[in-house]
Structure 1
Amino acid sequence: MNLENLEIKNASPSLYNEDLAPARERNWGAFSIFNVWTSDVHSLWGYYLAASLFLLCGSFVNFILAIGVGSLVIFVLMSLIGNAGVRTGVPYPVLARASFGVWGANIPALVRAIVACFWYGAQTAAASGAIVALLTRMDSFKAFHQSSHMLGHSTLEVICFVVIWALQLLIIQRGMETVRRFQDWAGPAVWLMMLILAIYLCIAAGGISLTAPIPQDVLLEKTKEAGVPGVPGSFPALCAVAATWITYFAALYLNFCDFSRYAPDVQALRKGNIWGLPVNLILFSLVAGVTTIAAFNVYHEVLLHPDQISAKFDSWFLALLAAVTFAVATLGINVVANFVSPAFDFSNVFPRQIDFKKGGYIAALIALALYPFAPWEGSAASFVGLIGATMGPIYGIMMVDYYLIAKGRVNVPALYQEHGEYRFQNGWNASALIAAAVGALFSSVLPNFTSILPAWWAVYGWFFGVAIAGAVYYALRAAMPSPVARTA
């Protein structure tokens, strides 16, 4: 289908606005797709997670093996949803209408939007932490940081959080094209700073070390709250590392089509994904591992946050450069992963009242309201697992529907028609909702709020959600009469 010439006729006003319409301008080439991933991974939280997982592996070889396997799986999963975005040209909440119904799609849209709000707050807090670490090098700011508190944080932390929070809103004033231009330079800038950080520490440590182990007692102490089975370096721990790394991207498995729909073709998408995912992820993790070892050799303590490392620099200039770069990087991932999606998701629920920008503002305000409670503080692996598991069932249902039931064919105009092919039961697909509820029961509810399932189950919650929800959905649809044939 030529989406550039596609006109949506007889669209329901409750299902359509210009932001939700199929993409007509497709100028996100392989480099822009690549930088979606540099912006998404090269952040303080991305580094924090990679460094935390490094401790669970026990050795450098184990780390690269676990991260490598996980990165290849991520590439495959992203390609599945990305190809759907290229071929239909629609954002995630609109694509979800094909599986959940034109009204039922609001449920997966809101789930993704709420998760984005949590991540928006977590990334903003990480970026503001880098600025706090820089400012507290000065005695006056350090005294203020220690003496004044509000909203459960130091007043300095609150001020820095609000400033970083506000700066992000400036980036999206002119829509998705501004997002593309910003992430095209923000991602490479972080790569440069990561290399400077690694080189600085390796020089201070007397060279690159891939074998100098962190003592086992230190590893056990640092990983005891991760909720991962097995001791660091064991096979169960390595499997958990790969699973957590895959789950970290659970949100973008759903809404990567928000970006891939702007790609000119599947070939450009595949090229950008190959360089941006397995290649970029493994290299980024390699640098994170080298930096973690070097930092331990220099400072004799495990430092998982880059801002903790930069705060120890003797050079004020290097500390300033690190703080600014990491803050910019985190702005990049927030805009790419945690602003774009809820902007479309909230717009999908009320398309006549909420456009792309208003949807993003709502997400930002929710993240601001969450800040006093800071639900993202604690173990990186546990937070990623809990948040990611909520979205597994939705991904399983959408991929089963698109590839196994619809055979990759979607009637795009009908996605915007209230009484069209995707009306199902008064706009709701009962099969999808039942499957999602069953999947969520086993991915999120039972492992996190009861002791019925084994402790290790929560680590793989996202996978159980995908498999169980997908299987239940396929069975329910197979038991129903064949739907009307879909057009490409």
Structure 2
Amino acid sequence: MGFPSPSSRVRLPIAMNETFDPSLYNEDLAPIPPDQRQWGWINMATIWMGMVHNIVVYEAAAGLMALGFSAMECLEIVAVAYAILFVTMWFNARAGTRYGIPFCVLIRASFGTRGAQVPVLLRGFCAIFWFSVQAYAATQAIDAILGTVWPGWNAFSTPVLGMSLHRWGALALVWLLHGWVMNHGIERIGNFELVAGPLVIIVGACATGWALKVGHGLGPLFSTPSTLHGWAFVTAFAGGVTGMIGMWATFAVNIPDLSRFVRSQRDQAIGQAIGLPLTALIFTPMAIITTSATVLLFGHPIWNPVDLLLALGHPVVTVAGGAVIVLATLSVNVVANIMPACYDLINVLPRTLNFHRSSYLVLILGVAFMPWLWFSEAGSIFHILDIVSGLLGPVTGIMLADYFVLRREKLAVSELYRHDGRYEGKRGWGVPALISFVLGGLCAISGSVFPALSALNQISWFVGLGVSGVLYLALAWPQRTR
């Protein structure tokens, strides 16, 4: 099945006599009719496989072990975090599958037709940030490949804006590669994911087999005991789970962007179950086992796959391995970052932007984030994750409370595209949702501002989700409409 390009599909009007506000509607935001949804569970599973396999997730195990967890405890954290993510995404995906609408349209039901821009812009900012960071991971791989094939490549070492000229050249190639994919149509990505997701698993399995041979077993990292006990273990475990959720907190919000293409609720549930928690539980031990072998070979752990390829010093391995990293990064970026960011930008300017124009805008904005500076400070990325999960937790809580409790899974879809419908709120602003979002977000990130409340950082996503969900129901229940 191909990945359907919204603007290239035949659109059926919701009703022949319906009129929509052009500031809320265009072909890319329109509902996808059930007979035009082509995805089955295999598509959903392979897309998640392609997204879970990326350098940031690979290196997340390093962050957990640096906190003092044993390898098995890392797997326990991953299992708990991804189980929670699966349940959240399974529920939040239902509206997309039932009505064929993206996140930026669905969120209007609670935040109002104008107020929806607040969570949409927040989500768009996060998507572009993650696109930028992931694309820079591919930049490192391209740089390693070119430096291996052509040694003179590394001679272009003059620094410009904190990065060498040869790295700038690699970055330009990666950005052009993303642009080439988007220019040829997003509809091809579905077929691409069917190959990319399983291929990365196969390559990872080969790397794991090599590591088991080098380490004559699981290696030293699996024999390293935990240094955390008692209450310190509990708080660190909670923080580890929250950090893992933070990596995907953005997608827990905009999962309807994908589920709108799926044929049935059964397909989206099975596909996510296979592609999300199951794949993560396979991929994480692969990362730990492979890194464990580097301790024996080089005397210290090497968690960055590109650094490992360079350390091995085998040209064929560097080129082939770098190509797989680029493939995996392209896979996660197009579906998890560029696509949601495009919808969010279109929602802001539906009269001006379409899917292709917004994709090029994402590429331009991605450079402005200067991702090479983030990679030099790994702790900064985890700090951003805490803040992001704290702010997007409230959005998730409001969405779940609104759709399942307040609306009982019933939406008047046509009114989501009009300012004068039941979802307008107060002059376009859903006051209960906005109040709940602000207060829930403040509670979630308060630990970053007030040292006495720092313990809340360990459960920021849960605090934001719970506080905002309950508060929203309390404020919106008296004025509820279906």
TM-score using structure 1 length? 0.89
Counterpart AA for 2:110: S
Q: Would you say the 8 A contact 1:395–1:466 is kept in 2? A: yes
Label 1:212 to 1:378 Cα distance change in 2 as closer, same or farther (>3 A): closer
| 2:410 aligned with 1:409 | yes
Tell me how far 1:41 sits from its aligned partner. 0.9
Tell me how far 1:427 sits from its aligned partner. 1.1
Counterpart AA for 1:30: W
Tell me how far 1:139 sits from its aligned partner. 4.8
CA distance in 2 between counterparts of 1:212 and 1:12 reads: 59
CA distance in 1 between counterparts of 2:175 and 2:234 reads: 40
Aligned positions of 1:21-170 closer than 5 A = 21-24=30-33, 25-56=36-67, 58-137=69-148, 139-144=151-156, 147-170=157-180
Q: Would you say the 8 A contact 1:58–1:213 is kept in 2? A: no
**What does residue 439 of structure 2 align with?**
438
Label 1:232 to 1:248 Cα distance change in 2 as closer, same or farther (>3 A): farther
Tell me how far 1:337 sits from its aligned partner. 0.8
**Percent of aligned positions with the same letter in both sequences?**
28
Tell me how far 1:134 sits from its aligned partner. 3.6
| 2:204 aligned with 1:204 | no
Which residue of 5, 18, 22 corresponds with 2:27?
Answer: 18
Structure 1 residues 39-76: Cα deviation after superposition (integer angstroms, max 9, x where no partner): 21111122112333244353222122221111211110
Tell me how far 1:455 sits from its aligned partner. 2.8
Tell me how far 1:280 sits from its aligned partner. 1.0
| 2:180 aligned with 1:182 | no
CA distance in 2 between counterparts of 1:327 and 1:211 reads: 27
| 2:181 aligned with 1:171 | yes
Bigger Cα displacement from structure 2, 9-18 vs 166-175 = 166-175
Counterpart AA for 2:423: Y
Aligned positions of 1:276-291 closer than 5 A = 276-291=275-290
**What does residue 315 of structure 1 align with?**
314
**What does residue 222 of structure 1 align with?**
none
Counterpart AA for 1:440: G
Label 1:331 to 1:453 Cα distance change in 2 as closer, same or farther (>3 A): farther
Q: Aligned to 1:236, what secondary structure does the other structure show?
A: helix
CA distance in 2 between counterparts of 1:312 and 1:230 reads: 35
**What does residue 359 of structure 2 align with?**
360
Question: Once superposed, what is the RMSD of the aligned Cα atoms?
Answer: 2.4
Label 1:282 to 1:4 Cα distance change in 2 as closer, same or farther (>3 A): farther
CA distance in 1 between counterparts of 2:231 and 2:174 reads: 36
Q: Aligned to 1:345, what secondary structure does the other structure show?
A: helix
Counterpart AA for 1:162: A
CA distance in 2 between counterparts of 1:142 and 1:211 reads: 33
Label 1:232 to 1:447 Cα distance change in 2 as closer, same or farther (>3 A): closer
Q: Aligned to 1:238, what secondary structure does the other structure show?
A: helix
Label 1:328 to 1:40 Cα distance change in 2 as closer, same or farther (>3 A): same
Label 1:258 to 1:275 Cα distance change in 2 as closer, same or farther (>3 A): same
CA distance in 2 between counterparts of 1:99 and 1:349 reads: 17
Tell me how far 1:4 sits from its aligned partner. 7.0
Q: Would you say the 8 A contact 2:71–2:222 is kept in 1? A: no
Label 1:14 to 1:230 Cα distance change in 2 as closer, same or farther (>3 A): farther
Q: Aligned to 2:39, what secondary structure does the other structure show?
A: coil
Counterpart AA for 2:409: G
CA distance in 1 between counterparts of 2:20 and 2:386 reads: 39
Counterpart AA for 2:288: G
Counterpart AA for 2:153: F
Tell me how far 1:20 sits from its aligned partner. 0.3
Q: Would you say the 8 A contact 2:103–2:255 is kept in 1? A: yes
Tell me how far 1:473 sits from its aligned partner. 1.1
CA distance in 1 between counterparts of 2:66 and 2:292 reads: 10
TM-score using structure 2 length? 0.90
Q: Where does the alignment leave 5 or more consecutive residues of structure 1 unmatched?
A: 220-228
Tell me how far 1:451 sits from its aligned partner. 2.7
Counterpart AA for 2:426: Q
Label 1:459 to 1:140 Cα distance change in 2 as closer, same or farther (>3 A): farther
Counterpart AA for 1:251: T
Tell me how far 1:5 sits from its aligned partner. 7.6
Bigger Cα displacement from structure 2, 234-243 vs 124-133 = 234-243
Q: Where does the alignment leave 5 or more consecutive residues of structure 2 unmatched?
A: 1-10
Q: Would you say the 8 A contact 2:221–2:289 is kept in 1? A: no
Label 1:320 to 1:311 Cα distance change in 2 as closer, same or farther (>3 A): same
CA distance in 1 between counterparts of 2:220 and 2:279 reads: 19
| 2:439 aligned with 1:429 | no
Counterpart AA for 1:10: T
Structure 1 residues 404-433: Cα deviation after superposition (integer angstroms, max 9, x where no partner): 111111111111122111111111111111
Aligned positions of 1:464-475 closer than 5 A = 464-475=463-474
**What does residue 399 of structure 2 align with?**
398
CA distance in 2 between counterparts of 1:215 and 1:293 reads: 14
Structure 1 residues 54-109: Cα deviation after superposition (integer angstroms, max 9, x where no partner): 44353222122221111211110110111121111100000001111111111111
Q: Would you say the 8 A contact 1:389–1:462 is kept in 2? A: yes
Tell me how far 1:199 sits from its aligned partner. 2.0
